[in-house]
Structure 1
Amino acid sequence: MPSAYIALDKKDAVAPVRRRIFGSFVEHLGRGVYTGIYEPSHPSASDEGFRMDVVELVRELGSTTVRYPGGNFVSGFRWEDSVGPRETRPVRRDLSWHSLESNQIGLDEFARWLKLTDSELMLAVNVATRGILPALDLLEYANHPSGTALSDLRIANGTPDPHNVRMWCLGNEMDGPWQTGFMAADDYGKIAARTAAAMKAADKDLELVVCGSSGSGMPTFGDWERTVLEHCYEHVDYVSCHAYYQELDGDLASFLASPIDMAFFIDAVAATADHVGYKKRSSKKINISFDEWNVWYVKEHEESGAVNDEWRHAPRQLEDVYTVADAVVVGSLLMTLLKRSDRVAAASLAQLVNVIAPIMTEPGGPAWRQTTFYPFSITSRLASGEVIRPVIETSTYTTARHGEVPLVDAVATSDDDRAAVFLVNRHLTEAAQVTVDVRGLGSSVITEALTLADSDVYAKNTLADQHRVTPSANTTAKLADGLLTLELPPVSWTAVALG
């Protein structure tokens, strides 16, 4: 049986647990909004048409921030279309996802939905096909209290209080040729700098996110960040990272090691940002907003010919159904974000409902939890205080994509009166016996121990079988004399709460 020894001590604190790491993402794509969060005819619908069964699941998920309204969608979006009387809102074509947008849900409605879920709004502006003035207009509409044309328009539209949006994304994936209005790094850096400077002139305390690379495999990766930040370093606060992972060609071993790529991505972007900062003799530190990350079957999407010649409202798109293995990867990616919380200040699981999402719905029917729901919700609930970086002794295994990789990985958090340990076993067939020295955390009792695993690593939760995969109590977990011992099943993710 593989084994691991893990030492945890409060002196190895990385940074405080940043609640914005537990963010999510809603894009006007597929059924993410319509029949996802909004379905006026649904039995659970509120007076405003929001599915309250979905609201309850979002609250359980523990999502703290939501990036909106895109994603690729934002690069063709006119924000003015989505406010005011619904009967006068225009229907537009969305070129990114080849569908029709009714604009029945816009900024004001979405902000009210966020209040139901206790989430913070992270708003994206269209710098790809619009520019500085529309961004300033949106900022005025969203945040100015009253007494100006656009703030008074918001009030007339039924929203007397400003939305007070603090985090703003300056476009989306501007390095990607799939993006409407994509640009070279030099061109984007200049427009991002001018837009950011103008927005900061309106409100110096805004937190602005500039687009980094759409993935560590992009041919311009590294050079993109350097060039963009040389233009706008002093005007922005975060640089974005986006990454999606999937099992390719039956290589489950490499897929389970996806966090190796995520850690490399974060470290490389942080180093590049610091290089620009040192070059500019700046005392400022640029943090990372990892505002798109998930498992996504991109290859299958590209091969399916999902984009066709039809223009439809809210078609079924990107409705990936996730497996146990996918959930283990999602849990371990979230562990990686926590480990790097000294630089990753915000993150967004992409997306929230129906579209590559932890929550699924059926029009007129139920809402249910995908397998990936559980590691996110449990980590969001248990993580608090400081992130503790562990010292891990474990054997490795060989992967085709990532070389030698530890079989067992872990991270912990510690608060005044509680702690939590999150663990993953990547072995494909064997359980791992793990000992965790928690004397440095001052813990003396196990309050909860949950493991997500299954004899079928490709088991899924579906409309027909919504509870096929759920976490179960890990009855092997024992704590004595400051040593936590437990057994981790093969291809599993585990959380242990301590008091």
Structure 2
Amino acid sequence: MAARVTAHRDYTIAKIDDRIYSGFLEHLGRAIYSGIYEPGHPTADAQGFRGDVAEVVKALQMPFVRYPGGNFVSSYNWEDGIGPREDRPTRLDLAWHTSESNEIGIHEFMDWCEIVDTKPMLALNLGSRGLDEARNFVEYVNGPTGAYWGDLRKKNGRAEPWNCRLWCLGNEMDGPWQIGQKTAHEYGRLSGEVAKALRAFDKSLELVVCGSSNPKMPTYPEWERIVLEHTYESVDYLSLHMYSQNKAKNTAEYLALSETLDRYIGTIQSVINVVKANKRSKHDVAICFDEWNVWYHSHEQDKAILQGMEGWPKAPRLLEDIYNFEDVLQVGLTLNTFIRRADVVKIACIAQIVNVIAPIMTEPGGPVWRQTTYWPFLLTSLYGRGTALRLAVASPTYDTETAGEVPYLDIAGVQDDAGRTITFFAVNRHPDRAITTAVSLEGFAAAKVVDHQVMTHPDLRAVNTMEQPDLIAPKPGTGAAVEGGILHLTLPPYSWQMIRVGV
């Protein structure tokens, strides 16, 4: 099976915003407690943050981390997480039917961000609360001393403002599962007024308004249109969410979901353009895809807790999907989609980072290990920065119910900012046939392969475990070479590859 690709130096999509490699950390399950934070762990620092976890998180080079939710934020009182720990209340979290000790709050999260070299993307509660609480939280985080909230922050140990620039106006407010669900008009009016208040405080803040929780919502895409009619001039990003599932164990259909993702993005881009035109606006609103991942492996095991059959446990094992090799391909396909949509997707957050539908797992008192999906995210984050190339691809296809005709070869190309390296990320969707691929490098100087990493495995269900943490990991590839301005490579069946070409 053969495919042809053309990469031309002058045919580009857009500069990739590094923030598409961001993450998400929610007060949910063991994401925080026994995830990033475990006092008494052999690697814990003086604040109780696990050093082994911080090391593998930092390696991902996530520009931003979204916090504290997620569904959790829609009934969260941020004031519960400030002041002396012994005075902080334990609350019952209605989103995940667990108890929250509030040992970790905004001060601790900000400290952790510094440890792992990332920046905060903070979410405001527009479910059970509203404008005044949102304004107060922003002023507590960013306001000067000499006024009430800045002085309270100073009293709690931090005199200087954190200067958080990126704020989410609620979470999934269209969802019937959400505490404080709203209609599009209700939410549009509220978020528009909150945005106005935050702009009065600081015009330079970047604001994210909620779009559809997923493309299957009955209100999609009319929700986006209505919300943007209320908020277009006041916000910078529209938030989208999508999780990939393979409950039917049909790999061909599963790997077609990235085509659905691409169409989701395209549809919302069109809605944004329509609202912009209707308003005769010069302002641009981009997409913030601040929740995405594979999520379905843990659904059955989570039911007892989520239905309240186990009371209100603290930091239980919730949403702990154990990812297999098949999921490596899905994560690679998703990241390729974001690269190819670099003109409109400016922020994306893998949900989440540790233990909860996460690329990183921990054992209390024990080790940390990388799930299978850690690796495509790591390598794409490290080398998928620069300018997205507009590739011309000719590939054999297969027919799906999910997305119609789907190419067996999925490929994205990135030229680094220095113009010295082109990196290709490629997935072969075919179950048993290799794809011999010729990539024509047009307009580039003499080239040679400088790095080639391959992920493949005969068992799609193979996983990394605490006992075998490196079973699924990248391995050096062979056979890729540039001859006469053409990159020749072979993609094994069901494989993910990264090929870096020096030019």
> TM-score, normalization: structure 2?
0.97
Which of 424, 430, 433 is residue 430 of structure 1 equivalent to?
A: 433
* Structure 2: gaps (5+ residues): none
Asked if the contact 2:26/2:32 (under 8 Å) is kept, the reply is yes
Number of equivalences:
498
What residue identity is the alignment partner of 2:361?
Answer: M
Q: How does 1:176-325 map to 2 (within 5 A)?
A: 176-297=175-296, 300-301=299-300, 304-307=303-306, 308-309=308-309, 310-325=311-326
Task: Find the aligned partners of 1:364 and 1:52 in 2 and give their Cα distance.
Answer: 12
Quote the offset at 1:251 in angstroms: 1.2
Looking at structure 1, the residues matched to 25 and 251 of structure 2 have their Cα atoms a distance apart, in angstroms, of 29
Shift in alpha-carbon separation, 1:178–1:101, aligned structure 2, 3 A: same
What residue identity is the alignment partner of 1:462? T
Q: CA RMSD in A?
A: 1.2
Aligned to 1:108: 107
Kept in 2: contact 1:443–1:498 (CA 8 A) = no
1:330-389 Cα offsets, whole Å, 9 max, x none, are: 011011001101000100000000000000000000001001000010011112321112
Q: Is the Cα–Cα contact under 8 Å of residues 359 and 370 in structure 1 kept in the other structure?
A: yes
Name the counterpart of 1:135.
Answer: 134
Q: 1:471 is matched by which residue type in structure 2?
A: P
Q: Partner of 2:10: helix, strand, or coil?
A: helix
Q: Does 1:488 align with 2:487?
A: no
| Cα pair distance change 1:303/1:40, threshold 3 Å | closer
- Matched-pair contact (CA < 8 Å) for 1:419–1:443: no
Note the C-alpha offset of 1:458: 1.2
The alignment partner of 1:104 has SS state of: coil
Partner of 2:20: 21
Deviation larger for 53-62 or 205-214: 53-62
The residue aligned with 1:374 is: 375
Give the corresponding residue for 1:363. 364
Which whole-Å CA distance do the structure 1 matches of 2:298 and 2:397 have between them?
29
Question: What does residue 411 of structure 2 align with?
Answer: 410
Q: Secondary structure at the match of 1:155?
A: helix
Counterpart code for 1:460:
V
CA contact (8 A) 1:419 1:441 kept: no
Instruction: Tell me if structure 1 keeps the 8 A contact 2:453–2:477.
Output: yes
CA distance in 1, matches of 2:391, 2:73: 40
**How far 1:443 sits from its partner (Å)?**
5.5
CA distance in 1, matches of 2:407, 2:312: 47
Query: Secondary structure of 1:11's partner?
Result: coil
Q: 1:274-297 CA deviation, whole Å, 9 max, x = no partner?
A: 111111111111100000000000
Distance change in 2, residues 1:267/1:301 (3 Å): farther
Alignment correspondent of 1:463 = 466
Retained in 1: the 8 A contact 2:455–2:496? yes
2:57 is the counterpart of 1:54: no
Deviation at 1:249, TM superposition (A): 1.3
State the AA in 1 paired with 2:375.
Answer: Y
1:76-100 alpha-carbon deviations (Å, 9 max, x no partner) = 0000000111110100000000000
What is the 5 A alignment of 1:51-200? Answer: 51-200=50-199
1:163 deviation in Å?
1.1
SS in 1 for 2:281: coil
**Whole-angstrom distance in 2 between the partners of 1:279 and 1:33:** 44
Aligned residue type for 1:203 = D
**C-alpha deviation, 1:438, in angstroms:** 2.1
- Displacement of 1:62 in angstroms is 2.3
Equivalents in 2 of 1:43, 1:305: separation in Å? 32
Stretch moving more, 151-160 or 328-337: 151-160
Which region of structure 1 is more displaced relative to structure 2, 286-295 or 151-160? Answer: 151-160
Q: 1:358 to 1:153 in 2, by over 3 A?
A: same
Kept in 1, the 8 Å contact 2:19–2:63? The answer is: yes
The answer for unaligned runs of 5 or more in structure 1 is none
CA contact under 8 A between 1:291 and 1:346: conserved in structure 2?
A: yes
Number of the residue aligned with 1:397? 398
Match of 1:449 among 446, 449, 452: 452
> Are residues 302 and 177 of structure 1, via their aligned partners in 2, closer, same or farther at CA, if it must alter by over 3 Å?
farther
Residues 260, 402 of structure 2: 8 Å contact kept: no
2:147 & 2:161 partners in 1: Cα distance? 12
- Normalising by structure 1, we get a TM-score of 0.98
The alpha-carbon deviation at position 211 of structure 1 amounts to: 0.3
Mapped to 1, the partners of 2:124 and 2:170 lie a distance apart of 5
Cα pair 2:60 2:378 within 8 Å, conserved: yes
Q: Deviations over 1:247-275 (max 9, x none)?
A: 13121101111110110111111111111
> Does the aligned pair in 1 maintain the 2:173–2:182 contact within 8 Å?
yes
Partner of 2:341: 340
